[in-house]
Structure 1
């Protein structure tokens, strides 16, 4: 089966254009992958059908809303060279179970993984993560373990909101910079 880009820059589909009733496809992450609210609404229904993400070479970020509500995504392997994951990038990807993060990652934006309700484990230990945005993993109700590197300097509020199963496996609160909010520190200590 041949792959080709669909008429919309966000989706690649096998042997058909997405507008012809295709039932699956892939989200393309390229150098201009931020979506405006209007673009988000226009592509939401089609994005829900995507079962994979394809990353273009020489791209350094997953943009704002890039994979929003892609319910069929299960595994995402973010390649080396990526430095940031934008606001709400994987928001609502309810089937997402596994995300591999590159060592080059420095920033995860607010609500980047909100409501990824199948995500159980997050390992950021081998990244160069410096900033974890507000509610980045909020509502990840199945999240059971998370490792965070000592390079982290800024923690947004409510990072683990409604993550009732979370038992951090490697978090040393004393390594965090002054920007770490007391709410998050208190939450981590209470787990």
Structure 2
């Protein structure tokens, strides 16, 4: 008999500054991506999110300057933490599900310094902004 831990979240700072990380495939069962989990992963281009995901923590993907697209439509994401995608300078497409209830914008814009995000007229520091 094998005993597998019930892992439901990516730990805070788990892969922070992993500069050679190119792709992440998060397993089903993960519900939370912790604070700054992938912060500063400058080579990260592709993230596969599990259906079970409900929260992306503060600064989780900050300064991941190679990410161009994020698709959360198939997830149950309800919350994006402040600065979740801060400084993702190549991010140009973001798809979020109807389950998204709030942008945690108390201390900074979720999409601050994401200059290529379309539509470009979104006020990325506005906690009521909607990205489709």
Q: TM-score, normalised by structure 1?
A: 0.60
- Alpha-carbon RMSD: 1.9
1 or 2 for the larger relative contact order (CA 8 Å, sep ≥6)? Answer: 2
Structure 1 residues 1-191: aligned runs within 5 Å: 58-157=6-105, 158-167=109-118, 183-186=126-129, 188=130
Equivalent-residue separation in structure 2 for 1:95 and 1:89 (angstroms): 14
For each residue in 1:6-60, what CA deviation from the matched residue of structure 2 results, as whole angstroms up to 9, or x when unmatched? xxxxxxxxxxxxxxxxxxxxxxxxxxxxxxxxxxxxxxxxxxxxxxxxxx76311
Q: Secondary structure at the match of 1:70?
A: coil
Structure 2: distance between partners of 1:81 and 1:185: 29
Structure with the higher fraction of residues in helix conformation: 1
The Cα shift of 1:184 comes to: 3.3
- CA distance in 2 between partners of 1:128 and 1:119 (Å): 21
For residues 106 and 66 of structure 1, the distance between their equivalents in structure 2, rounded to whole angstroms, comes to 18
Higher radius of gyration, 1 or 2: 1
Distance 2:57 2:78 in 1: 11
Aligned to 1:68, what secondary structure does the other structure show? coil
Greater strand proportion: 1
Figure out how many residues of one structure are paired with residues of the other and give that number.
121
Unaligned runs of 5+ in 2: 120-124
**Normalising to structure 2: TM-score of the pair?**
0.86
Q: C-alpha distance in 2, partners of 1:64/1:183?
A: 25
- Structure 1 residue 167, shift from structure 2 partner: 1.4
